[in-house]
């Protein structure tokens, strides 16, 4: 494993469900603290770190829409849930001495900055962790798409997709013990095999801009730092 970081600027996509931990719903302070510690371990290496966080631990727009709620209203509610998660992660990071800024796609100046690309870049250059919340600010787009979009806007060299498993498998490893892990995939393989890495819009955006995606299990101690230092864990999605 290389001892020098493999990347200079990265974006981490964290699902809202990850913040719930064993609670299954809401925010687990222990899990948020753990995630903050993992991010700090990468940040102290001198890397520029941005984070996009989901809101599924509080409210899922797609699920509510399936039960009859207006899709746009449901998606806006989901975006607001990501703001709550972002503020929780900001609090945990700053308790660890990591300077952060929360930028939201939905303006709410009393609690977060509006998303301004040049300001976000300046924060990163000054060594601050930037948390992007509020999705893209538009309904019908997932936080996966928001992660891909923000990664392109800030010039991130990689998107780290944090999940509950250590990569992409042929089937759900939590349900199928015969499932095998892919070490490497192309964007086209992910789309053609309909693998649940990120939604198709996010995959296409990364493919068009040749931004690799690394899928890994964030809840393993030191996993994120290991990946940044060149450890071959998880699954990488990139151009062949």
Domain ranges of the chain: 9-237
Q: Let me know the angle formed at the C-alpha of 137 by 89 and 51, rounded to the nearest 5 degrees.
A: 30
CB burial readout 187-209, b (16+ within 10 A) else e = beebeeeebebbeebbbebbbee
Q: Is the CA virtual torsion 30, 5, 159, 238 positive or negative?
A: negative
Look at domain 9-237 and name its CATH class. Answer: alpha beta
Residue 138 has pLDDT above 90, yes or no: yes
How far is CA 168 from each of CA 79, 190, 237, rounded to the nearest angstrom? 26, 10, 9
Contact criterion met (CB below 8 Å) for 150 and 11: yes
Phi, psi dihedral angles at 167 (to 5 degrees)? 150, -165
Cα maximum dimension of the chain: 52
Phi-psi category of residue 217: left, alpha or beta, with phi > 0 → left and psi -120 to 50 → alpha: beta
pTM for this prediction: 0.93
Closest alpha carbon to 153 in 128, 129, 132, 126: 132
Average pLDDT of the chain is 93
Residue 107 has pLDDT above 80, yes or no: yes
pLDDT digit string (tens) for 42-86? 999 999 999 999 999 998 878 888 888 899 999 999 999 999 999
What single string gives the DSSP state of each residue in 74-87? HHHHHHHHHHHHHH
Residue 1 has pLDDT above 50, yes or no: no
Contact criterion met (CB below 8 Å) for 70 and 62: no
Residue 233's pLDDT band, with cuts at 50, 70 and 90, is confident
Name the more confident of 88 and 69. 88
The Cα–Cα gap between 123 and 172 comes to 38
């Amino acid at each position: 494993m290389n001892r020098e970081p493999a990347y200079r600027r990265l974006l981490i996509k964290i699902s809202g469900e990850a913040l719930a931990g064993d609670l299954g719903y809401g925010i687990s302070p222990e899990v948020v603290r753990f995630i903050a510690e993992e991010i700090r371990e990468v940040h102290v290496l001198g890397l520029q770190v941005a984070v996009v966080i989901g809101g599924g631990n509080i409210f899922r727009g797609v699920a509510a829409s399936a039960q009859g709620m207006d899709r746009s209203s449901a998606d806006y509610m989901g975006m607001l849930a990501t703001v709550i998660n972002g503020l929780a992660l900001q609090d945990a990071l700053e308790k660890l001495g990591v300077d952060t800024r929360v930028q939201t796609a939905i303006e709410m100046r009393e609690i977060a900055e509006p998303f301004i690309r040049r300001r976000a870049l300046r924060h990163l250059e000054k060594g601050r962790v930037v948390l992007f919340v509020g999705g893209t600010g538009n309904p019908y787009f997932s936080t996966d798409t928001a992660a891909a979009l923000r990664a392109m806007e800030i010039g991130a060299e990689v998107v780290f997709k944090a999940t509950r498993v250590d990569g992409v498998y042929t089937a759900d490893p939590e349900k199928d013990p015969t499932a095998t892990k892919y070490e490497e995939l192309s964007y086209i393989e992910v789309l053609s095999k309909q693998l649940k890495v990120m939604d198709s819009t996010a995959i296409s955006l990364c493919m068009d801009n040749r931004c690799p995606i690394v899928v890994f299990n964030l809840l393993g101690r030191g996993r994120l730092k290991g990946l940044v230092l060149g450890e071959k864990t998880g699954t990488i999605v990139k151009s062949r």
